[in-house]
Amino acid sequence: IERFEHSFHEDYWIGKKILELVEQGSKLNEIALIARTNRQITNITRFLDKFGIPYQIKRSESLLESKYIQDLIMIIKVLSDPAQLKDDKLMWKTFSLDYWKANQFDVFGLFHDAKEQKMSMLDFIQKTRLPKYDSLNSLSQKLIALQTYALNNSFQATFTKILHSLDLIKYFEALPEPYPELNRLSSLFQFIQARTKFKKDYSITDFLSEVRQMQERNITLNADPIELDSEKVNLLTAHGSKGLEF
């Protein structure tokens, strides 16, 4: 029995232990990690990614627990209302997302410079067009264009436009373990498609309202389950592992 002061120490130890077992001759499909909650599995996967350990998640998981889906929802929130683009707190978070690989010093510098001029980050970057903020300005222009698109098109079309205009699919494909995240993305799109069939004028506001209600009421929006793979470590919740043999 091992004891750890912090959960990330435990997750790191798990990753190192798997590498040790593989070096000793164990096959990946002979290794299973069984956690109590989906959140614990999510935390463990971050260390498996760092160690380059292939894994497969076997669970019905809530899409809303995924960091990448949460970030995507934040982008959708930014596009839902013109006033959101002038919200510096929200824009700081948006500019800082992993998707863009933006220099965090540039994001902080933009915030500081805009505050000194008593302007929003968006207004400052558009009016000054300083070369050092070119990448952030380019991103802001894409967000403005997407917001205009969202106001004049269905949310299903807007969602697709977001993925392609911001190169998010390419980002997911470049992840160390892309399939779980692509599966979550596909599941979210299927949810949007289903809601659009039910309500023809299903809007970006409708989507955000439903997400907020699900979060407040702890309603799970499940991703499609992923089948176990013979060449990967298997991650399961204690409930999901019942009846399975390895």
What predicted TM-score, i.e. pTM, was given to this entire model? 0.68
Per-residue pLDDT of the chain (246 residues; tens, 9 = 90+): 788 888 878 888 988 999 999 889 888 888 888 888 877 888 888 888 888 888 877 655 678 888 899 999 999 999 999 899 899 999 999 999 989 988 889 999 999 999 999 999 999 998 998 999 999 999 999 999 999 999 899 999 999 999 999 999 999 999 887 878 888 899 899 999 999 999 999 999 999 999 999 988 888 888 766 554 568 888 877 655 444 443
User: CB under 8 Å to 47, separation ≥6 — which residues?
Assistant: 8, 11, 12, 14, 15
- Report which secondary-structure segment, H or E, holds 161: helix 155-165
* Nearest partner of 172 among 42, 69, 45, 30, judged by Cα: 69
How many Cα atoms sit within 13 Å of 185 on the Cβ side?
A: 19
CA distance 25 to 22: 5
* Sheet hosting strand 55-58, strand order edge to edge: 32-35, 233-237, 55-58
User: CB under 8 Å to 173, separation ≥6 — which residues?
Assistant: 182
- Report which secondary-structure segment, H or E, holds 234: strand 233-237
* Sign, CA torsion 201/141/74/59: positive
User: CB under 8 Å to 42, separation ≥6 — which residues?
Assistant: 65, 66, 67
- Report which secondary-structure segment, H or E, holds 82: none
230 three-class SS:
coil
The two three-digit tokens of residue 239, written as one number: 């409930």
Contact between 58 and 236 under an 8 Å Cβ cutoff? The reply is yes
How many beta carbons lie within 10 A of that of residue 60, not counting itself? 13
**The pLDDT of residue 58:** 67
